[in-house]
């Protein structure tokens, strides 16, 4: 139990089993919910043949243009007039890499305008994020090489 009577008075003992049970339940909850929190924005990326995976380190920033033409830096919405200032502050000063994801339904003019803002901010290197081509012809070509 919690306490037992000893010769000199009460002696307290801690029962660790309920504490361990609660911690294991919290650990399982954390393990299940953590991947759901890092999903990011829903963008239907275009497909291409040569695709490299996005680096997993924290030295990069992802700029996303969704189907509605809205611009996001990581998960935070940015209006077009403020985009250049945010890019200078977050990419140039902190020396991070910039990657751009754009929905395949976004008008070409919107993507070009965003790329113009990136160039005007002084960023020369820009990575473009796409998905691997899933057509049967592309799968066969990938197997042969």
Tens digits of residue pLDDT in 38-74? 555 666 566 666 656 666 666 788 889 988 889 998 8
pLDDT band at 91 (very low <50, low <70, confident <90, very high): confident
Which pLDDT band, with edges at 50, 70 and 90, does 23 fall under?
very high
Q: Any idea which of 108-117, 118-127, 128-137 has the lowest mean pLDDT? A: 128-137
- Determine the pLDDT at residue 60: 83
Using 50, 70 and 90 to split pLDDT, how confident is the model at 1? very low
Q: Please state the rounded mean pLDDT for residues 88-92.
A: 88
Rounded mean pLDDT of the chain?
78
> In terms of Cα–Cα distance, which of 143, 56, 77, 67 is closest to 102?
67
CATH number for the segment(s) 47-132: 3.30.420.270
Report the residue count for the chain. Answer: 145
pLDDT at residue 50, as a whole number: 63
- Residue 133, Cα to own-chain centre: how many angstroms? 22
- pLDDT of the residue at 6: 59
All structural domains of the chain with their residue ranges:
3-37, 47-132
Q: How far apart are CA 30 and CA 113, in angstroms?
A: 40
């Amino acid at each position: 139990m919690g306490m037992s009577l000893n010769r000199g008075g009460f002696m307290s003992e801690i029962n660790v089993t309920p504490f361990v049970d609660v911690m294991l339940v919290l650990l399982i909850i954390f393990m299940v919910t953590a991947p759901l929190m890092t999903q990011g924005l829903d963008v239907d990326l275009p497909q291409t043949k040569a695709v490299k995976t996005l680096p997993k380190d924290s030295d990069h920033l992802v700029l996303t243009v969704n189907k509605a033409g809205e611009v996001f830096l990581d998960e935070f919405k940015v209006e077009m007039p403020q985009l250049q200032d945010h890019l200078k502050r977050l990419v140039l000063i902190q020396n991070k890499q910039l990657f751009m994801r754009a929905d395949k339904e976004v008008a070409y003019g919107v993507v070009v305008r965003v790329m113009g803002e990136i160039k005007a901010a002084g960023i020369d290197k820009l990575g473009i994020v796409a998905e691997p081509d899933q057509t049967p012809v592309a799968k066969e070509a990938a197997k042969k090489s």
